[in-house]
Amino acid sequence: MYCANCDKELNHKYKPLREWNINGLLCADCHIEKTKEFILKKQEEKRKLEVICAICKKDLILEIDKNTPRWQWNMEAGVRLCKICFDRRQSDYDKLMNHCALCDKRIGLIRYNPKPKWNIEGQLCRDCWDKQNQTGK
């Protein structure tokens, strides 16, 4: 009798599990190796099913909670957000893009980007941009 995996002569015979799709018997070394591979594969599949929110670390079980962040938010690839964190991040981003960073007035069609030396994050309305530009001179 020889091992079905490595063709060594068998002193002790081990029967492989059906899921391994191996015909024949295994030696002790191959049986241990295949068992480790099978367990690691099962753990990896389980980990893929378990998803947590990148912000609040809540377990995401329902499909409605598994939201992919928008590319504009500069988050890591492959992370997921729960519905609450996704909505909060979306509203923060909308506020950042559609309201003046200084006076919080809603910005219309024309937007002004602050100069890098001003250290302001977001958009500015015309009045605030003019004021900031005057104080910078």
Read off the pLDDT of each residue in 22-48 and give the average, rounded to a whole number. 88
Is 93 part of any domain? no
pLDDT attached to residue 72: 87
Is 8 part of any domain? yes
Is 9 part of any domain? yes
Q: Tell me the pTM.
A: 0.54
pLDDT attached to residue 32: 93
**Which structural domain, as residue segments, surrounds residue 118?**
99-137
Residue 19 CB contacts under 8 Å (≥ 6 apart), including other chains: 38
pLDDT attached to residue 137: 59
**Whole-angstrom Cα distance, residue 112 to residue 57?**
36
pLDDT bin (cut points 50, 70, 90) of residue 136 is low
Are the C-beta atoms of residues 75 and 54 closer than 8 Å to each other? Answer: yes
Read off the pLDDT of each residue in 47-72 and give the average, rounded to a whole number. 80
Count of structural domains within the chain: 2
> pLDDT of 87-125, one tens digit each?
999 999 988 888 998 998 998 888 888 999 988 888 899
Is 118 part of any domain? yes
How far is CA 70 from its chain centroid? 11
Q: Residue 24: which of 34, 12, 16 has the closest Cα? A: 16
Is 78 part of any domain? no
Is 17 part of any domain? yes
